Amino acid sequence: MNEQQQMLSEMADGLFAEHGPTATVESGWPAIAEVALDGLLLAEDQGGFGGSWEEALTVFRLAGYHAIALPVVEAIVAAALARRSDGRGTVAAVTEGRIVGDRFSGTLSGIPWGGGADYVVAPAPDGGAIVVAAQAGTLDTGRNIAGEPRDRLTVQDAPVARLEGNPFALMALARVAQIAGALDATLALSVGYVNERKQFGRPLAKFQAVQQALASFACEAAAANCAAMGAAQAMSRGSAPFEIAAAKLRANRAIGTGTALAHQVHGAIGFTEEYQLHPLTRRLWAWRSEFGGDAYWSAQLGGPIVAAGSSAFWSGLTALTG
Sequence letter at residue 91: V
Residue (of 301, 206, 213) closest to 252 by Cα position: 301
Residue (of 10, 22, 94, 113) closest to 55 by Cα position: 10
How near is the Cβ of 211 to another protein at its closest, in Å?
4
Decide: is 214 part of the binding site for another protein (CB under 8 A): yes
How near is the Cβ of 209 to another protein at its closest, in Å?
10
Of 99 and 191, the one with the shorter C-beta distance to another protein is: 191
Q: Considering only the stretches 18-26, 97-105, 156-164, 213-221, report the one whose residues sit in contact with another protein under the rule CB under 8 A.
A: 213-221
Residue (of 260, 254, 258, 262) closest to 294 by Cα position: 254
Q: What Rg, from alpha-carbon coordinates, does the chain have? A: 20
Decide: is 301 part of the binding site for another protein (CB under 8 A): yes
Biggest CA-to-CA distance, the chain:
72
Mapping DSSP onto H, E and C, the string for 204-244 reads: HHHCHHHHHHHHHHHHHHHHHHHHHHHHHHHHHHCCCHHHH
Among 242, 255, 258, 261, binds another protein (CB under 8 A): 242
Decide: is 227 part of the binding site for another protein (CB under 8 A): yes
Residue (of 130, 78, 137) closest to 102 by Cα position: 130
Q: Considering only the stretches 17-25, 104-112, 119-127, 209-217, report the one whose residues sit in contact with another protein under the rule CB under 8 A.
A: 209-217
Among 114, 123, 230, 279, binds another protein (CB under 8 A): 230
Instruction: Return residues touching another protein (CB under 8 A).
Output: 187, 191, 194-195, 205-206, 208, 210-212, 214-216, 218-219, 222-223, 226-227, 229-230, 242-243, 245-247, 249-250, 253, 294-295, 297-303, 305-307, 309-310, 313-315, 317-318, 320-321
